[in-house]
Chains A and B, each alone.
Chain A
Amino acid sequence: MTSVPVPAPQAPPAEPSGTKIAPVVIAFALGTAVAIGLGVYGRLHTPSGHAVNIAGFSSGAAAKAALASVAMALAIVQTVTAMGLYGRIPLRGAWVGTVHRWSGRLAVLISVPVAVHCLYALGFQAYDGRVIAHSLLGCFFYGAFVFKMLILTRDDSPKWALPLAGGLVLSGLTALWVTAVLYFLIV
């Protein structure tokens, strides 16, 4: 449970002596492979057109929109706590890291039923611009997530690697939310 790197102010400048770029490249390659794998699966398998609904919502789409919105809210918590960890805003204390880790875990777990519904019931589709973007972003998001988790396993990555990975994950989720939930709400 001590996975998040030490806050920047305390971190001695380990660069340039101890940093290694190779693990970052490997992590990026694995993340890319996951993204491509999801896309290929989504494109090749015949969408079932239906999937298990989560009880209590007016429709499958409403359930997905609600879950995705919870994930999005947690992603905002992620951003704020990450800024605290990096000393950009005055959030101090051990709880910041804990909140960051657990909000992230929760967010990605909540996203899973949504993504599985997309992949299993709908597949990778390309019939209009929004749908292409959403399909690509869905694959991208889990690739970026894998990239970030792998970077977190090591302390000797360059300083920029983790914010980059976190930024990719956040951008991916935000764009997914906009191309689906916002569209669902306003159209």
Chain B
Amino acid sequence: MKHRSPLVTLAAVAVAFAIMFTVNMLSGPPGSSSTGTAGPSSAAPAPASASSASSQPTETAVASPSPSASQTTEESKFPEKVVYAGRTKHGSAAIAVAVLGDQSAAYFCDGRNIESWFRGAVRGADTSLKSRSGVALQASLDGDHMKGSVQIKKDTLKFEINEAKKPAGLYRARGSKTTVGWIVLEDGSEVGVQTTGADSTAAPQLDPENPQVTLGGENLDAKPVNGDEDL
């Protein structure tokens, strides 16, 4: 004797898979299908570099340049998953660059009131990233560390940063109104900025072992940024 109902169940699951895939493909971010040009040219042109990253928290992935990643033919020379972090030359500001596969994310902040989030793609030993406001950050693998530069308010800021092993690294927390970024350095020191609307101030202390902060009565979990997140 044969039964048909398990086949019906199988078919129903297959159809559910197909529906979910279709929904996902149709609702991809603007960049994923329409952007034919390389690079994150779809980033919104906002004026200020500071605090611009969190000014449109609802538009996820607008600055995501992942389409360019799929066009590259050059294999990433970076480790599959790595974070570099360090202070900028001459200053207390810090930069962290996270690379995951062929995608990258970066964060610059001065620990007081300037911050910027970047998303980008990896090509060989280079990664180029852009912030939502169009600020560019370039970085290259140089031995086991990373060299690069970023435009901050008309100055070109150079940096040379080392691999940051956990608990060091790049962390981010997002509440209903506030976005916080922290760069935790290998020596345990932290540089972070929180932004609410257009106001940026120093971030609260983060314990990377127990990454929870309370902001404006809201309990937020800080998550490590790996490189493929929507920022």
Q: Do A and B bind each other?
A: yes
Chain A residues within CB distance 8 Å of chain B: 1-3, 46-52, 101, 104-105, 108-109, 112-113, 115-117, 120-121, 125-128, 145-146, 148-150, 152-155
CB pair A105–B10 under 8 Å, yes or no, is no
CB pair B24–A49 under 8 Å, yes or no, is no
Select one of B5, B24, B228, B229 contacting A116, CB under 8 A.
B24
Q: What is the total of A-B residue contacts with beta carbons within 8 Å?
A: 87
In angstroms, how far is the closest chain A Cβ from the Cβ of B13? 6
Select one of B70, B80, B100, B230 contacting A50, CB under 8 A.
B230
CB pair A145–B13 under 8 Å, yes or no, is yes
Given A52-B24, A153-B3, output 20 extra A-B contacts at Cβ < 8 Å: A1-B5, A3-B6, A46-B70, A48-B28, A49-B64, A49-B66, A49-B228, A49-B230, A50-B230, A112-B13, A112-B20, A113-B20, A121-B24, A125-B101, A128-B81, A145-B13, A148-B6, A149-B7, A152-B6, A153-B6
CB pair B9–A108 under 8 Å, yes or no, is yes
Encoded as 1 (CB less than 8 Å from any A CB) or 0, chain B from 45 to 62 comes to 000000000000000110
CB pair A154–B228 under 8 Å, yes or no, is no
CB pair B80–A150 under 8 Å, yes or no, is no
- Asked if B16 is at the interface of the complex by the 8 Å CB criterion, the answer is yes
Kindly report which residue of chain B lies nearest to residue A115, judged by CB atoms. B17
Kindly report which residue of chain A lies nearest to residue B7, judged by CB atoms. A153
Encoded as 1 (CB less than 8 Å from any A CB) or 0, chain B from 89 to 116 comes to 0000000000011110000000000000
Chain B residues within CB distance 8 Å of chain A: 1-7, 9-10, 12-13, 16-17, 20-21, 23-25, 27-29, 32, 60-61, 64, 66, 69-70, 80-81, 100-103, 228-230
25 sampled A-B residue pairs with Cβ under 8 A: A1-B5, A3-B3, A48-B28, A49-B61, A50-B60, A52-B23, A52-B27, A105-B9, A105-B12, A108-B13, A109-B13, A109-B16, A112-B20, A113-B20, A116-B17, A116-B24, A120-B24, A125-B101, A128-B81, A149-B6, A149-B7, A152-B3, A153-B7, A154-B2, A155-B1
In angstroms, how far is the closest chain B Cβ from the Cβ of A42? 12
